[in-house]
Amino acid sequence: MKKHNFGAGPCILPQEVFESASKAIIDFDNSGLSILEISHRSDAFVEVMETARSLALELLGLENRGYQALFLQGGASFQFVMVAYNLLEKKAGYLNTGRWANNAIIEASKFGEVVELGTSIDKGYNYIPEVTSVPNDLDYLHYTSNNTIAGTQMQHFPKGNAPIVIDMSSDIYSRDIDYSQFDLIYAGAQKNIGPAGATLVVIKEEILGKVSRVIPSIMDYRNLIDKKSMFNTPSTFSVYTSMLNLKWLKKQGGVSVMDKLNKEKANLLYEEIDRNPLFTAKVPNKNDRSTMNVAFQLNKKELESKFSTLYKEAGVHGIKGHRTVGGYRASLYNALPLSSVKVLVDVMRELEKTS
């Protein structure tokens, strides 16, 4: 039985993407070769990379607007370092909205001064803090648009007079917003882009070249742009499968269609959590709730094992909360169908009825 995969990442991708990727490992485009054994400098792979880069921009509405897309390695955690290396001359402003935002602050602090624009650490990151003022001497502002562990999501992005850098690892391509308000967007692929092993970075070129520090070649965005994301061997399979997934996304109608579907999925689940007396949402303020990661608690600890039995019988996978916070978390990434959410909601109702 195919599972209903609510895992937080690496996560579900469309079944047709799995099927095409699986085939390409045996024979890539009738070449007689596996996608794993072709040169990244071959015409065939260069086309894969260029298609992926181009779709990455197009689906964000950022083509021909001064942006470049790169498929790098090392995940968002490596971007915590690269962003600071490339942009932090003296001082940057970070909004501390979760564990990953906090890790970004820790790494950036190794390269310059970090001003916290706000924090929600006082309540276990269960809300989005207000930004009351933005200093005017910052090199950039840094936000985390969606907090995968806490289950919060930013709805608006305060501006200053500096470029906005944003970690969108867990909600890029999931919602219809104006992506051009950001100057640098980064995201680990393993949620809505593709398999783990690739990291998408979308950069407005004009923000680069303003720090005095000597930058290692492989960490220098200008060099990576110049080399069309092929300074060295990329994570070829992850880029290929990301391309397949971005093509799927385009075929579905792009982010506006996903936005609608994701809101529908999230509303259905939050409504059940709010209605069902056995459950409580971890994020009290509805405006701060993530459409991607729905964090909730079971109010009666003694029902845990019954809940677990019921949801496993229904094929529900991956709803345990992050190891650092416990509870439950249902992730509703683009490829998760509405029908899977209905199955989970039915299980929650079943638990209520029989308890």
* Catalytic residue IDs: 100, 167, 191
132: exposed, middle or buried (C-beta count within 10 Å: 0-12, 13-18, 19+)?
Answer: exposed
Distance CA 167, CA 186 (A): 5
Q: Per-residue x/- marks for a second copy, 186-225, CB under 8 A?
A: --x-x----xxxx---------------x-xxxx------
Comparison of 222 and 349: residue with beta carbon closer to a second copy: 222
Which span (73-81, 145-153, 252-260, 292-300) binds a second copy, by CB under 8 A? Answer: 73-81
**Nearest-approach distance from CB 90 to a second copy, in angstroms:** 17
Q: Taking CB under 8 A as the rule, does residue 313 contact a second copy? A: no
Do 291 and 262 meet the contact criterion of CB atoms below 8 Å apart? yes
Q: Are 213 and 83 within 8 A, CB to CB?
A: no
Residue 338 engages a second copy in binding (rule: CB under 8 A): no
103 scored as a contact of a second copy (CB under 8 A): yes
Q: Which of 44, 58, 78, 327 forms a contact with a second copy (CB under 8 A)? A: 78
* DSSP-assigned letter for residue 289: B
- CA angle, 138 as apex, 134 and 144 as ends, to 5°? 70
Strand positions, DSSP E, 264-351: 279-281, 293-298, 316-317, 328-331
**Identity of the residue numbered 215:** I
Tell me which stretch binds a second copy (CB under 8 A): 72-80, 113-121, 303-311, 344-352: 72-80
Find all residues with CB under 8 Å of 322, minimum gap 6, and list them.
8, 148, 149, 329
Should residue 236 be labelled a site residue for a second copy when binding is judged by CB under 8 A? yes
For position 238 contacting a second copy by CB under 8 A, the verdict is yes
In angstroms, rounded to a whole number, what is the distance separating the alpha carbons of residues 264 and 267? Answer: 5
Spatial distance between the Cα atoms of 330 and 307, rounded to a whole number of angstroms: 14
Spell out, one character per residue from 8 to 47, where the chain touches a second copy: x when CB under 8 A holds, - when not: xxxxxx----xx-xxx-xx----xxxx-xxxxxx------
- Residue 323 in contact with a second copy, rule: CB under 8 A: yes
Give me the residues that bind a second copy (CB under 8 A), please: 1-3, 5, 7-13, 18-19, 21-23, 25-26, 31-34, 36-41, 73-78, 80-81, 103, 106-107, 110, 188, 190, 195-198, 214, 216-219, 231-238, 241, 315, 317-318, 323
